[in-house]
Amino acid sequence: MDTWQRSKKYCVAEKHLKGLSIEEVDRLLPEGLVLLGYRGSIAHNCYVPNTNPNSIDDKDIMGVFVPSIENYFGLNTKEHHEVFIKEWDAVSYELRKFVRLLIGANPNVLSLLWLQPQHYIFRDRIGNALIENRDMFTSKKIYHSFTGYAHDQLSRMTRFEHNGYMGEKRKALVEKFGFDTKNAAHLIRLLRMGIEFMNEGILYVFRDDASQLLEIKRGEWPLEKVKEEAEALFKRAEAAYDKCTLPNYPDVAKVDKFVVKLLEDKFFEKDYSDRGE
């Protein structure tokens, strides 16, 4: 790791990743980081800190990285980096992998380009370029991805599977209310965000309806009310799709040129003075 990479990680750890040593930060974040921000409950204005006995939230972050040039010309490639340490749940994608997910309108990945300024942890020139050109990835595919993810949340909400992703507190909520209240909140949020995006071309990651989403997550909405709201939102999403003026698909050729230019500038330019903020 070069001196600047080490310095960058120290700065990130000191300002944002509280409670982690620099060694843990090294494990959490990949080399070549160009963009890092909060995702999940913090980004959505729905985070309940672990000082609250009823909290079921981790601190979720997402990054984009450009590894060494050998990754692009050699046999060993890395597209994904995922680590969980203490309360920090981090996932990062190599630039081209990240862009492919953007083209497919992946809700979680798209959200990284529409955060509130205070929810960005690190951005360099490539990270800023992705944010500044986020409209390049906007299309009617939003409908299929957001409603698809919402259908998945609806299914998981009542499937009563406790293995894998659930902690003990979340299992207790499922047993208490008879459904996964956190999935229920995700379901409603995804549908509302998709409708807003199709109507306005803007992804509202920071939720003004956070208090209502927290009510759902706490189990204050009965299952039937959640299902009724979801059914109404699915109908509104279909109507929004019919009226949507966004392009059917992103301009993949334009996106391809954009990515090539970013990588050319990264590996072949001489001036590396602007190394992030």
* Region of poorest pLDDT, from 31-35, 47-51, 117-121, 157-161: 157-161
For the chain, domain boundaries: 8-138+250-268, 141-243
pLDDT tens for 128-159 read: 999 999 999 999 999 999 999 999 999 888 77
Tokens of 73: 């010309």
Residue length of the chain: 277
User: Residues near 207 by Cβ (< 8 Å), separated by ≥ 6?
Assistant: 44, 45, 46, 189, 213
Provide the pLDDT for residue 5: 62
The predicted model scores a pTM of 0.89
CA distance 64 to 248: 26
pLDDT at residue 61 greater than cutoff 60 = yes
**pLDDT above 70 (res 21):** yes
Residues 167, 53 contacting (CB under 8 angstroms): no
Tens digit of pLDDT for each residue in 213-239? 999 999 999 999 999 999 999 999 999
Which residues does 107 contact at the CB level (< 8 Å), separation at least 6?
A: 145, 146, 149, 190, 193, 194
H/E element, 85: strand 80-85
8-138+250-268 is classed in which CATH architecture? 2-Layer Sandwich (3.30)
